[in-house]
Amino acid sequence: MLNQLIKSIVPYDNFTVLVIEGIIYFVLLALGLRIILDLALRVGIRITSRTANTLDDAVVEAVKSVLTPLVLFFSFALTSINFFPTALVMDYPLSELLVYIGIMLGAWACNRVIGRIVEWYDLDLQAVHKGKRKELFSFVRKMIGVLIYSIALIIMLDRAGIQIAPLIAGLGVAGLAVALALQGTLSNLFAGIHILADKPFRTGQFIIVGNDPEKAGVVDEIGWRTTRILLPNNNVLIIPNAKLAESEVVNTSHPSGPMVVVMKVSASYADAVEKVEKALGEAVKEVMKNDEIFDKSFAPIVRANSFLDSGIEYAIVVQVNEYMAQYPARGALVKAIGKAFKKHEITIPYPTSIVHLDK
């Protein structure tokens, strides 16, 4: 019916009528598919907006970004098959060219969606570290893209009748040679991926590497080859990921930021234990007024701990808000305890030795 209508309006040959009919078919099909998919996307957006996880939102956005090219290609392919099944392009079947284009377009769409998922994971994992580019995730996205397009290329070569087995074998040998040459780099890369997957620490957290106080600092960046740690003296410690993955790491920010600090002080045997504990309690109560250093939700502990050669040792247990706060906390405690001991006339014992001489 459409064919007869076009012939009555356009006084041209059958091929021209067929082209016009195909164009109308293409436009109507593309518009219809777009409307249906847009409605489906709206439903998907409503559903994902109710979830706490943002991954589904990222997936919907990625699908939306590739929707228009896919709809146009699908509509054009159906139009070509229905109206021009025997068409040739430079003596090559149009339908076969569409297959190749479809493979590459599918690879492009997969790369966009998977890349968006990796980007979401990057942003979610590094939310505490704003404004810096995470090279590891950038490298991973590129590697995923290379892998997807390589698979698409292999499928196209196989469809074209080209023997891909020798090519794959050659690439395998070349890959082995490259892997041996880049053994150290690859070990650091996979160690970095392992660190990100296992999550022993994240950027912004304070860690101690190898129980060495000289290697304690805030994780600044987890790169594809190294991890950078900002030390308290404002220097940056750069550690290869492979070495870091094999080291013992203390994460002071996990499971929570506050940490317990134990401080020990001695008093003379001549001073009553109750008197010393009272003085220490007053000192701790005084320094606990500083909210920026001490965690007030933790009840401080003051106890007699042990007998020493020249006096009794007392233990003071407090909790600070973060690892680096322990240093000003100890300084504040020393000052307050010195004042309290002076006020209550408590003696800090010196090491003494008693020598017995036989007559």
> Which domain CATH number covers 235?
2.30.30.60
**Residue matched to tokens 């007699």:** 304
DSSP code string of 76-117:
HHHHHHHH-TT-EETTEEHHHHHHHHHHHHHHHHHHHHHHHH
Nearest residue to 129 via CA among 209, 246, 44, 219: 219
Q: Are residues 199 and 101 in the same domain?
A: no
In a domain, 178, yes or no: no
- Indicate whether 235 and 339 sit together in one domain: no
Mean pLDDT of 129-151: 69
The torsion angles phi and psi of 239, rounded to 5 degrees, stand at: -120, 130
Structural domain contains residue 354: no
- Structurally, how many domains does the chain consist of? 3
Within this chain, do residues 62 and 111 fall inside the same structural domain, yes or no?
yes
pLDDT of residue 334: 92
Of 55-64, 135-144, 302-311, highest mean pLDDT:
302-311
In the prediction, which pLDDT does 132 show? 45
- pLDDT band (50, 70, 90) for residue 265: very high
User: DSSP label at 252?
Assistant: T
Rounded average pLDDT over 64-81: 86
Domain contains 332: yes
Burial of 191 (0-12, 13-18, 19+ CB in 10 A): buried
The whole-angstrom separation of Cα 32 and Cα 358 is: 113
- Between residues 197 and 82, which one has the greater pLDDT? 82
Determine the average pLDDT of the residues in 141-154: 84
Q: What is the CATH number of the domain that holds 308?
A: 3.30.70.100
- The number of residues in the chain equals 359
- DSSP state letter for 18: H
Cβ-based neighbour number of residue 358 at 10 Å: 3
In whole angstroms, give the CA distance from residue 145 to residue 266: 65
Arithmetic mean of pLDDT, 306-324: 89
Q: Residue 130: which pLDDT band, with cuts at 50, 70 and 90?
A: very low
The model carries a pTM of 0.52
Asked whether residue 101 falls in the same domain as residue 211, the answer is no
Mean pLDDT of 72-88: 83
Rounded to whole angstroms, the Cα distance separating 251 from 201 reads 6
The reply to whether 246 and 307 lie within a common domain is no
pLDDT at residue 129 in the model: 47
Neighbours of 52 (CB within 10 A): 4
**Per-range mean pLDDT, top range of 21-35, 140-154, 294-308:** 294-308
Of the pLDDT bands very low, low, confident and very high (cuts 50, 70, 90), residue 194 is: confident
Token digits for 297?
């939700």
Which of these ranges, 102-116, 243-257, 296-310, has the smallest mean pLDDT? 243-257
User: Is the same domain home to 38 and 68?
Assistant: yes
Q: What is the mean pLDDT of residues 37-57?
A: 78
Residue-range definition of the domain harbouring residue 196: 187-251
Q: Is residue 31 domain-resident?
A: yes
Q: What is the mean pLDDT of residues 304-328?
A: 89
**One domain, residues 8 and 104:** yes
Q: Torsions phi, psi of 216, nearest 5?
A: -110, 130
Q: Does 166 reside within a domain?
A: no
Q: Which one, of 206, 209, 294, 273, lies nearest residue 243 by Cα?
A: 209
Which of 68-72, 244-248, 280-284, 288-292 comes out lowest in average pLDDT? 288-292
Are 36 and 124 members of one domain? yes
Do 99 and 17 lie in a common domain?
yes
Maximum average pLDDT range among 162-171, 231-240, 281-290, 346-355: 231-240
Query: How would you classify the pairing of strands 312-320 and 206-209?
Result: unpaired
Among the ranges given (124-138, 212-226, 304-318, 330-344), the one the predictor scored with the smallest mean pLDDT: 124-138
CA-derived radius of gyration, the chain: 36
Q: What is the share, in percent, of the chain residues with pLDDT greater than 90?
A: 16
- Enumerate the H helices of 241-289 as residue ranges: 241-246, 273-287
Which residue pairs from 76-83 have beta carbons closer than 8 angstroms and sit at least 24 positions apart in sequence?
A: 76/26, 77/102, 78/29, 79/22, 79/25, 79/26, 79/29, 80/22, 82/22, 82/25, 83/18, 83/21, 83/22, 83/25
Torsion angle, alpha carbons of 278, 279, 284, 285, to 10: 70
Same domain for 114 and 224, yes or no, is: no
Three-state secondary-structure class, residue 351 = coil
278 assigned to some structural domain: yes
Contact between 225 and 240 under an 8 Å Cβ cutoff? The reply is: yes
Per-residue pLDDT, averaged over 319-343, amounts to: 89
Does an H or E element contain 22, and which?
Answer: helix 14-48
Residue 138: band (very low, low, confident or very high) from pLDDT cuts 50, 70, 90: low
Name the DSSP letter for residue 51.
S
Q: Does position 7 have pLDDT exceeding 70, yes or no?
A: no
Q: Are residues 125 and 37 in the same domain?
A: yes
- Average pLDDT estimate for 92-103: 85
Is residue 156 situated within a structural domain? Answer: no
* Three-state secondary-structure class, residue 345: coil
Task: Write down the pLDDT at residue 23.
Answer: 83
Interval 233-258 mean pLDDT: 86
Classify residue 12: in a domain, yes or no. Answer: yes
Q: What is the average pLDDT across 226-240?
A: 90
Tally of CB atoms within 10 A around 160: 10
Structural domain ending residue among the three candidates 204, 224, 251:
251
Average pLDDT, the chain: 81
Mean pLDDT, residues 132-157:
75
Do 290 and 219 fall within a single domain?
no
